[in-house]
Amino acid sequence: MYICICNALKDRQLAEAANDCNSVADVFKKCGTRPQCGKCLNDVADLIDNARAAQGEMVLAAE
């Protein structure tokens, strides 16, 4: 499913990029693009939050 229509970025691609990024700008940079209309920014921020939560769960599971 497309999250960012302006840059034709799909949820899977953005979620993968979000794993290594700390900001929305970093996610777009990793994808080789930059935000345009801005409508997707909250969704991209949610992907970063989800990635951080998943990484926290992995840390807790390893303890």
Chain residues in the site for ligand FES (CB under 6 A): 4-7, 35-40
For residue 30, the tally of other CB atoms under 10 A from its CB is 16
**Closer residue to ligand FES (CB): 23 or 55:** 23
Question: Residue 12 CB, nearest distance to ligand FES (Å)?
Answer: 15
**What gap in Å lies between CA 3 and CA 43, rounded to an integer?**
7
Instruction: Identify whether the C-beta of residue 6 lies closer than 8 Å to the C-beta of residue 36.
Output: yes
Question: Residue 2 CB, nearest distance to ligand FES (Å)?
Answer: 8
Question: Residue 20 CB, nearest distance to ligand FES (Å)?
Answer: 19
